[in-house]
Structure 1
């Protein structure tokens, strides 16, 4: 039977999740929450769901709902996820899961107490070609000793135009726990941590927007014997690919998400081999979330605590890194002061 789920958040990312989840046949939308009842009804109707709420208490009390997908503004994630877990609902939480490591630790603690799962929705590390990359990085014949890596996610946001015009969109607001690092920078940071583990230390040189958050910048993650350079931004665009450098070759990937190309170049023969398998293409404005929807359904249905623990490890490592990078640069959220 499909897993029944409710949603919090009525933006395009929620549309993407619902469409992808329904395509897998393993999920079924059963409830929608919005602060405005009319908006909840309209959003639910679009996806064939008649069950809508403008009260979180009533929403979480809905016994037909087994899980909740949360894609509200970042600063609201912790309290909403905590309510869902205490109502014994599984939680799929859009990144960044919380504003601070302490909040994230608390959610995982509550989930274990209530016998449910909380999973941060990093879609890109569930892609088939990312999992291929994980295998290649560990193959002695492909890379050997790792010398370094360079990962990029830098794409100009239309909402940065609003910032330049004197406005403060939620994603560029300190009050809503915004900024480039936690919105797009987490993609390459997670990309690195899921490949190499938690770094020994990290440094960030951002440019700060007039709203007080970072608009982008350069990150260095330090590992034993090598470093990873990350370029992230919502205020400028980079077309640079992602690369992993090793003693026996270089692996080049077209990006940190929607991976369609994974090439290995032998430095001695100068020959390049394409290794990528098929990948999901999704019509814009949606994004590929099918692979994560399949994996998350499997974890919930099989109660795969080992797989969930590995995702928990990645999530905890990522937020420790991003929280430290923010604090290095004086980017403080309301949750940091609580």
Structure 2
């Protein structure tokens, strides 16, 4: 009986790289640009360059005019009031409640980059595809590191790159060394992007798994529910400030009367604390993330790591380095493969 020969580690790495190269490039370009989404929007639309954030009172007045969709409250880095209606149109409002801009879905490059990076412009089906591709990408970078790992004593020359014209005969050496050394040097940021990206695609499963592993609740806090009715958003904001006085309101859901709040030391840019009002406008539920299982709190740190929402400029540079490496790795890898086939 003939013995079946399994693919070697090199073959796995090569074929996974060839199959995933286009997708990796797409994720690297869109993800790197979206790190600077707010700055990009202000550059493309000068009307969004506001001196001061829109006030909460003005935001509440604008929100009262809508009954569907959701809205982001202004911050220092995003000073406008941004409302997304039921059809996916983004409306931007200024300090006096004036409408500055409306962006329809797929109406500009920013929108395309968001849709492609989040779900390949295929809605929920695209998220399923991204989840599978992210898992294969983890295998890809792991096999690459294992192949590079020195079999004997580690030396700095293991990271050396001799630069030749990549179109010349010696260019193969440069492409190979650049591919190998980039993957080794920037492995941690790249692995962080792949791990967090995969976890975001399977957020529910990851959250439940971490909560099962770390079920303890660090804090036992109880909040009273004020019984007064609040039919307007300004009244709801006032109740929220009473119940969670140190938390900032970041996101409101116009059709359900819910809002999300962020504690000062919380990683997630929009927070994971919820306040909900029933159909009569009475406060019906409070979810304080500090009272949730430790594993669930850890799961809320995944997205901020992926988008560099913490750590300031240092973390942004680390994540950007990972994105740039994901641009260079597929280009050098596929180019080297094609040159070697041509040579043969």
Fold shared by both chains (TM-score > 0.5): no
TM-score relative to the length of structure 2 = 0.22
Higher strand proportion = 1
Structure with greater helix percent: 2
The structure with the larger Rg is 2
TM-score by length of 1: 0.22
